[in-house]
A and B are shown apart, each in its own frame.
Chain A
Amino acid sequence: MSAMNELTASAVPRLPRGVRLHFDKVRQAHVLLAPERAFNIGDTAVMVLKLVDGSRTIASIAAELAAQFDVDPAVIERDIIVMLGDLRGKRVVET
């Protein structure tokens, strides 16, 4: 089990220094670059990570995406918490 608490909707996620989103022109896909690692990032995750800027809360990221795609923010929020929680466990997202 992780020693960390679960993320909450009021958390403000950010990409720490040494982690950045990169568009790989050769493979035509986004990757999240980190020390010695590169994560393949799906389209949905890319949309979330583009809004991870160290000032938006998870709730506001969910609200923006929900408005854009006309879906329930509560569902999106849940997915974002899981996704960013996973990336935080891998030490590539901080709150």
Chain B
Amino acid sequence: MTISRVPVPNPLGILLELTHRCPLHCPYCSNPLELDKRSAEIDTATVLRVLDEAADLGILHVHLSGGEPTARRDIVEITAKCASTGLYSNLITSGVGAALALLPALAGAGLDHVQLSLQGTTPMQADKIAGLKGSYDAKMKFAAEVDRLGLALTVNAVIHRGNIGEVKGFIEKAIELGARRLEVAHTQYYGWAYKNRAALMPARPEVEQSIRIVEAARERLSGKLVIDMVVPDYYAQRPKACAGGWGRKFMNVSPNGRVLPCHAAESIPGLEFWRVQEHSLGDIWQNSPAFNAYRGTAWMPEPCQSCDRKELDWGGCRCQALALLGDASLTDPACGKSPFHKRIEALAASEAAETAPPDYIYRGPSQTAAREPEDVLP
């Protein structure tokens, strides 16, 4: 590989969505409405080849995700491959299902880090959000096993109307579980989460309060717990540089092998995604039409084009421009400079102001409440 001829900086991270199968049915799930089927998932040999290509391309972090990545039988082999190629492996898991039993083998294979999702800080509420009874208790057992094995732990808490009052509780829980890092991630409204937006959208005062709590805790807990925060962009002034800028740092492989510039990019019609079955990762990074569609700044409309933050925000999020405005090539309306920003803010405020928000819409036909564990077969 002739690295010196690469016209764009090499990517730093790759997220492998190894499967869309998941025992949890969180209403905030950002995976697409239509999930890839198990029979379409890329096989072990392909995953291992992709990891070799990732290491050659200078990728540093590999995020093993899904769905629930431990639902794949080859997860230990995949983790061992990360270790042997020097790639930093991060298991992004619900901690439910096969995860607990597999953890010692994963640690033995050289897993670098575990990111465990928590939906709440009490069983009843967490299980309601996860759509599965017993899930909270399973997560607590899993976290204890992470600690016993001495693995590095991050707790990920996706925040929304149903748990925004518990940010303090999440911080305390993260410390109690021995996490060194906590993600307080306000829901991003993509995929399934977009469908549930009216049920999930918090009010602005609660959002501001949650930010104050995190900022105070960061100072108090410096050196003990790192807290990263993803702010809810409907209320933001500046958009997030989605994936660090389109085609700048990050690649995402869907369960069936399509390589995406961001997690939700398949929602954009007309983009041509290449698959790892037919192309090498390096070829896709440089030449795939989807990666080049919004790379750099040439594609940008106003107000991005004349904005002094255009190489910081990179126009914000294409998927959000599409979802909210019907056109992926417009400035992300999360930006205060977008002519549509006020409309988005008003939309969020009116949804949050509903005294009785709608019920969660769970994935799967006819699910209206948390499922019984015996209904969730591996």
Contact = CB atoms under 8 A, between A and B. Distances in A.
Contacts, number: 70
Q: Chain A interface: which size bin?
A: 20 to 34
Contacts of B56: 26
Contact of B58 (A16, A25, A33, A35): A25
Contacts of A19: 152
A89 B115 CA distance: 20
Contacts of B225: 91
A3 B181 contact: no
Given A36-B90, A38-B12, A38-B61, A18 B222 contact: no
B254 to A, nearest CB: 21
A88 interface: yes
A33 B61 contact: yes
B183 to A, nearest CB: 8
B90 A35 contact: yes
B346 interface: no
Interface string B211-230: 00000000111111110100
Contacts of A36: 61, 90, 154, 181, 228
A44 interface: no
B7 interface: no
Contacts of B90: 35-36
B108 interface: no
A27 B112 CA distance: 22
Contacts of A2: 219, 222-223
A17 B88 contact: no
Interface string B1-34: 0010000001010000000000000000000000
A90 B219 CA distance: 12
Contact of A35 (B154, B220, B222): B154
B226 A90 contact: yes
B58 A4 contact: no
A31 B152 contact: no
A16 B219 contact: no
Contacts of A26: 3, 10, 56-58
Interface string B130-155: 00000000000000000000111010
A17 B149 CA distance: 10
A31 B61 CA distance: 12
Nearest to B10: A26
B291 to A, nearest CB: 18
Contact of B60 (A4, A17, A38, A88): A38
Contacts of A75: none
A37 B321 CA distance: 28
Interface string A24-49: 11110001010110100000000000
A3 B221 CA distance: 7
Contact of A18 (B10, B60, B180): B180
B289 interface: no
A35 to B, nearest CB: 5
Nearest first, the 6 A-B pairs at minimum CB distance are A18-B152, A26-B58, A2-B222, A4-B223, A33-B88, A35-B113
19 contacts: A2-B219, A2-B223, A3-B222, A3-B223, A3-B224, A17-B150, A18-B152, A18-B180, A24-B60, A25-B58, A26-B3, A26-B57, A27-B10, A33-B88, A33-B112, A35-B115, A35-B154, A38-B12, A38-B61
Interface of B: 3, 10, 12, 56-58, 60-61, 86, 88, 90, 112-113, 115, 150-152, 154, 180-181, 219-226, 228
